[in-house]
Amino acid sequence: MTFLHRNRALLAFVGLFLVGSLVQTPLYDVPRLTMEVPEHKSVRRKAQEKSIHDNTKRDADGCYHVFIDVGANIGVHGRFLLEPEKYPEATVAHSVFNNMFGKPETRDNRDFCVFEIEANPRQRKKIQPKADAYAKMGWRYEFMNVAASDHIGIMEFNHNRDSASEEWGFSIKQLKELNSGTEQVPTIRLADWVTEHVAKRKLPQKLYGEYAPESGPKILMKMDIEGSEYVVLPDMITSGAMCELDFVFGELHPKFAPITFPETEDGAKTVRLRDRDEATEYGKSLLSVINNARNCKTTFKILDDETYLHDGMPLPGQEES
């Protein structure tokens, strides 16, 4: 009996939860990135009603548009958004950003927040200098050195000897012929963080760029988490967090099958994908639910932009005179 036959009930349950109001789980204790921001002025009544009476400080308070880079690697996608002129060959990313937020000449980086979520602690030395340089510009580009998951806890990740590729393969999957060590990485429940810290954010009083008034504030996500998407996506769907996003692009990784996600201490069930075909079909089913649910605005497309693997572009203040 295949994984999909054994889990038809799960997929039906996923579809059911996408219709109507969804129950949200309580906020967990996440790394605090909150910055002081002014109280927002109504830009879209629905957003105002969600936050005007709530004094909770959230990581995305004061952000009009939000880009969440889940599986950020060295954090270059955030740079594609903030400094597009330095990356002319990143055409896939530019197309996504332009469709979501308008062209660069009408955007202003002070209206954006970029969250770079990356599990690999070795990438701090690549991402944190970007965050520091952009902070000096008044731009919000935040590094979160945690793993995206469907629960709070600790997960073991593997360094898979691909430093020449900026450790693209840092993953829960151990590639035995390449493994060069493990890391114990703290996890966040991504669905909770999106719901509580981004979707419920207080919008800014003032906008600096020019955006189509009918479009309103946007939340864009890139997801490239080397196999963990097979537990993160179902949790995002059933919690309702997925439908808070306007657009998601990224990759699935059936090549990592067989892959097992063991039962967690808080009761999350074991998920086991036995081979590449099973993982492929499961991934297709998840995307079908996301893209075809009538009461969910979100679209997920298989896209990525792997140009500028090593970045190589100077940060603001480092350009040659």
CA atoms within 13 A on the CB side of 186: 9
Angle between helix 276-292 and helix 229-239 axes, rounded to 10 deg:
30
Name the residue among 122, 124, 125, 129 with its Cα closest to residue 162.
122
DSSP 8-state code for residue 270: P
Other residues' Cβ atoms within 10 Å of the Cβ of residue 167:
20
Give the pLDDT score at 102. Answer: 96
Angle between helix 8-17 and helix 229-239 axes, rounded to 10 deg:
40
- DSSP, residue by residue, 136-150: HTT-EEEEE-SEEES
Q: Which residue has the tokens 């963990």?
A: 228
pLDDT digits over 32-72, tens only?
343 333 333 333 444 444 444 568 899 999 999 999 999 99
DSSP 8-state code for residue 64: S
In whole angstroms, give the CA distance from residue 115 to residue 307.
20
In whole angstroms, give the CA distance from residue 170 to residue 174.
9
Give the pLDDT score at 55. Answer: 80
pLDDT of 257 higher than 90: yes
Distances (CA, A) of 180 to 94, 161, 225, 257: 35, 6, 19, 20
Q: Return the percentage of the chain with pLDDT > 90, whole number.
A: 68
Give the pLDDT score at 321. Answer: 46
Other residues' Cβ atoms within 10 Å of the Cβ of residue 315:
17
Beta bridge pairs of residue 115: 68, 142
Residue 155 one-letter amino acid: M
Give the mean pLDDT of the chain: 84
Burial (0-12, 13-18, 19+ Cβ within 10 Å), 300: buried
pLDDT digits over 208-220, tens only?
999 988 889 999 9
Contact, 40 vs 204, CB < 8 A?
yes
Q: Return the percentage of the chain with pLDDT > 70, whole number.
A: 78
Q: Bigger pLDDT: 267 or 320?
A: 267
pLDDT band at 3 (very low <50, low <70, confident <90, very high): very low
Name the residue among 220, 127, 131, 132 with its Cα closest to residue 166.
127
